[in-house]
Structure 1
Amino acid sequence: MVFTLGSRATTAGYKLAAFDQIGSTNAEAMLRAREGERGPMWFVTPEQTAGRGRRQRAWMAPRGNLASSVLEVMDVQPAVAATLGFAAGLSLEAALQRVSIEAALRLGPGSPKYMLKWPNDVLADGKKLSGILLEAETIGDRLAVVVGIGTNVVAAPEGTPTPAVSLAALGVQIGAEELFGALSNAWVEFRGIWDNGRGFADIRRLWLERAAGLGDKVAILTGNAALEGTFDTIDDTGCLIVRTADGRRMPVTAGEVYFGSAASMRTT
């Protein structure tokens, strides 16, 4: 399995470290940053054995899936860097649309529909296809930001809070190498729009156009607490805004999000 950067990523000066197998592409990227690497640089593997998702959940990538992380060292504040995750979601959604053209022609109305779930998932037909994890660390006078993107290409995990699915199960027959090439190119586009946070208004607009559950009933669980209402929007910092039954607009910074009937089941 040979990974290569897309032509736009190569022209933009990105570097690439590819591994046949590795514990965690995020961990490797941050280690390189501590050792002096300033990127921008991609770290990619078809098999990850010690990856992490949100809340320290394990994120394994069995052989044939795509585990990828991009290292960007920037002069931004951590709160601004956190909004880069929305650009990551848009990048992967765009890459998936590109590599799924053949499946769309073959499957017609049955081709998968990709959407973005707050704060960091990409869904296919309502099931989790990918998770995104941002990590940041101050190195000198700059911030090293690692954006990890794990995608279920050939297999999906079981027992996740949101049911998961793979591209193969959806009838999209592509390899991790092809998807990565498209992703690295799309990243250049949306990283450029984001522009160290200065373009987040445009990223927010594009993200909302692809948002799962927008305008629907939502429940957010944080520990033993639950907030119910309607998914109204995301604000200019990336917080999810929930409109409660009494008309209040409540900002949410973190939590497990459930829409529609799933929202009702989680709060009863």
Structure 2
Amino acid sequence: MTFSLAPTAIAAGYRLEAHDSVGSTNAIALERAANEDRGRLWVVSKRQESGRGRRGRAWATPEGNLAATLLLVEDYNLKLAATLGFVAGLALADALAAVVPNRIAVAVDGGGGRGDRFELKWPNDVLANGAKLAGILLESSLRPGNRVALAIGIGVNVVAHPEDVPYPATSLRALGFPGDAETLFLALSDAWAENVRIWNGGAGMADIRQRWLDRAAGLGSEVAVRVDGNVVRGVFETIDEDCRFVIRANGDIIKIAAGDVHFGAVASAGAA
């Protein structure tokens, strides 16, 4: 099977660039933007040699996993563009729900789950059984005319997951999913078209925020957030209108714009 776009994505003007293997789909997307690509371009591969995650961390994509980057070139302000990471998380969760058979019961634990098969961990992970299944990375560059080239990178552990990481990880194959990266991407391109329609240039952010909270991992549970070398502990209350992570600590409300979130025993013992 080859990569292809859903009819809804094609109708909305999205295009596809598929590779057998790449260094980084985000890097390719930003290179296309530097060469005046108009955006709405999906760059996809089943193998990525030099992928990266948040804060410069490596993101491995062995043969059979999904590396997908959506390039958008618009006159966004950066604060608004950042909310598209939450749109991407919802799109991926919707795609997973669409293609993973119901007989594969993913009971989320360790993250304060409420029975959802796939949950969203702030700011950019998708979890299954409390383990990381996918990650999302946004990178941007400025283009002439005050336009922003935004690369929304989505990496999914389809057939394999890393073993030597300091957090639980899993893959769709480990969960019993018999499908492939191409099947998941087809559903993702469809789900993105629907969720970005709801987002509606930011006008629908209230709906996106509520849909995200409905799938949020750890909501109402004890968390520890590492912020600039310090650890803040409290109860995960919500995300606010700007998608900041909101916790209650000793009666105070603390809003966090960027950090690493830990649940369960790690939150109690201290975030590594």
> Into which bin does the TM-score normalised by the smaller protein fall?
over 0.9
Matching of residue 174 in structure 1 with residue 182 in structure 2: no
> Take 1:34 and 1:240, find their aligned partners in 2: how far apart are those partners?
33
User: The residue matched to 2:135 in structure 1 has which SS?
Assistant: strand
Aligned partners of 2:162 and 2:169 also within 8 Å:
yes
Aligned partners of 1:114 and 1:124 also within 8 Å:
yes
TM-score by length of 1: 0.95
Partner deviation per Cα, 1:97-155 (whole Å, 9 max, x = no partner): 00012xx23x4576982000000000011100000000111101211111000000000
Residue 184 of structure 2 aligns with an amino acid whose one-letter code is: L
Mapping of residues 5-84 of structure 1, within 5 Å? 5-84=5-84
C-alpha distance 63-267 of structure 1, shift in aligned 2 (>3 A): closer
Partner deviation per Cα, 1:66-124 (whole Å, 9 max, x = no partner): 000001111110011001100000000000000012xx23x457698200000000001
2:133 is matched with which residue: 101, 109, 129?
129
Residue 198 of structure 1 aligns with an amino acid whose one-letter code is: A
- Structure 2 residue ranges without an equivalent (≥5): 109-115
Partner of 2:111: none
Matching of residue 219 in structure 1 with residue 224 in structure 2: yes
Aligned partners of 1:81 and 1:196 also within 8 Å:
no
* Equivalenced residues, count: 264
Residue 235 of structure 1 aligns with an amino acid whose one-letter code is: D
C-alpha distance 267-17 of structure 1, shift in aligned 2 (>3 A): closer
Partner of 2:212: 207
After the TM superposition, which of the residue ranges 92-101 and 252-261 deviates more from structure 2? 252-261
User: The residue matched to 1:195 in structure 2 has which SS?
Assistant: helix
C-alpha distance 72-244 of structure 1, shift in aligned 2 (>3 A): same
Percent identity (aligned): 49
Aligned partners of 2:106 and 2:128 also within 8 Å:
no
Residue 244 of structure 2 aligns with an amino acid whose one-letter code is: C
Mapping of residues 130-209 of structure 1, within 5 Å? 130-141=134-145, 142-209=147-214
User: The residue matched to 1:231 in structure 2 has which SS?
Assistant: strand
After the TM superposition, which of the residue ranges 29-38 and 195-204 deviates more from structure 2? 195-204
> Take 2:64 and 2:58, find their aligned partners in 1: how far apart are those partners?
17
Partner of 2:94: 94
Residue 132 of structure 1 aligns with an amino acid whose one-letter code is: I
Mapping of residues 104-115 of structure 1, within 5 Å? 104-105=102-103, 107=104, 113-115=117-119
> Take 1:160 and 1:109, find their aligned partners in 2: how far apart are those partners?
21
| Displacement over 6 Å in runs of 4+ | 109-112
> Take 1:258 and 1:175, find their aligned partners in 2: how far apart are those partners?
30
Partner of 1:239: 244
Aligned partners of 2:95 and 2:191 also within 8 Å:
yes
Partner of 1:262: 266
> Take 2:43 and 2:264, find their aligned partners in 1: how far apart are those partners?
37
Alpha-carbon RMSD? 1.6
C-alpha distance 154-79 of structure 1, shift in aligned 2 (>3 A): same
> Could you tell me how far 1:172 is from its partner in structure 2?
1.1
User: The residue matched to 2:202 in structure 1 has which SS?
Assistant: coil
TM-score by length of 2: 0.93
Residue 157 of structure 2 aligns with an amino acid whose one-letter code is: N
User: The residue matched to 1:196 in structure 2 has which SS?
Assistant: helix
Aligned partners of 2:106 and 2:118 also within 8 Å:
no
